[in-house]
Amino acid sequence: MLKYGVLGSGIGYTLSPKIHSIVFDKLGVNASYDVIDLPTDGLPSEIKRLKDEYDGFNVTKPFKTEIIKHLDEVKCSLGAVNTVRRENGTFVGYNTDVKGFYLSLTHMTGEIKGQSILVLGAGGASEAVISALVTAGADVSVNNRTTVKAVALADKYRIKVWNGEKPTVIINATSLGLDGISNPLPNGVDTSECKYAYDLIYKPSETPFMTFCKKAGAKVSNGLGMLVYQAILADEIFLGQSLDVDGLYEEIMKIIVE
């Protein structure tokens, strides 16, 4: 039996076991998928056991960067890994958040080349989002509470720090809204031309950001689709085979969206 899991801290809520079990059942793969919930300082003492026991694992907060020093090879350009696979006795890191986000966003928007996209936030998830949007040819700007982090991302990806332009698409990659109350939109943002708003948060399923943008006339989505797509893409890596990504996505969404 193959053994996989998701490694993180404080992740008792995670939907990942459910999503991966649907994929494994569908494909007839004999595999388990655990929640590996460690204290925030627990990685150094646990990494050997994880490597001994697991064929691969997903990585989430707060270990996406810290895991890298424990890997033999990293096959992504971001400083963040969300998928680790044992390959001939070595451990190789990948990032499926970038493509997972892109597939989920464009599921709603279609082609995004040339769109004026405002990204809120400058943490790890924001970098995955910006990387995907820049690769797709969008006109991206970034806004963040801590300006120096927005400037660093803007320099790295050759995008703008937001300066009051009217966006046609807004992405919330901050954690504001997890409480069901806070809205991450910066003061003065003009949403009159905003056609689409995407929140990486998926719990609550409708955030204040989504409600606000919907009222302003935008089509909105939460981040559940990103979670599902990144998981299917991780399964392609774990199993070393191409999957019917969109077909699996539709089936999983039917099951997990109440």
Shortest spacing between CB 146 and ligand NDP, in angstroms: 3
Is residue 75 part of the annotated active site? The answer reads no
Cβ-contact 211, 227 below 8 angstroms = no
Cβ-contact 32, 4 below 8 angstroms = yes
CA dist 202 and 28 (Å) reads 28
Shortest spacing between CB 90 and ligand NDP, in angstroms: 26
Structure tokens at 202: 């998926």
Q: CA 182, 187, 191, 194: dihedral to nearest 10 degrees?
A: -70
The footprint of ligand NDP (CB under 6 A) covers 61, 97, 121-126, 144-146, 149, 173-176, 178, 200-202, 223, 226-227, 230
Q: Give the residue closest to ligand NDP by C-beta.
A: 123
Catalytic residue among 48, 64, 149, 215: 64
Total count of residues recorded for the chain: 258
What are the backbone angles phi and psi of residue 196, rounded to the nearest 5°?
-140, 140
Shortest spacing between CB 49 and ligand NDP, in angstroms: 25
Q: Which amino acid is at 160?
A: K
> Strand, coil or helix: what is 51?
helix
Report the residue number, 30 or 187, with the smaller CB distance to ligand NDP: 187
Cβ-contact 150, 144 below 8 angstroms = yes
Q: Which amino acid is at 76?
A: C
Report the residue number, 123 or 204, with the smaller CB distance to ligand NDP: 123
**Which of 99, 154, 93 has the alpha carbon at shortest distance from 121?**
154
User: Catalytic residue positions?
Assistant: 64
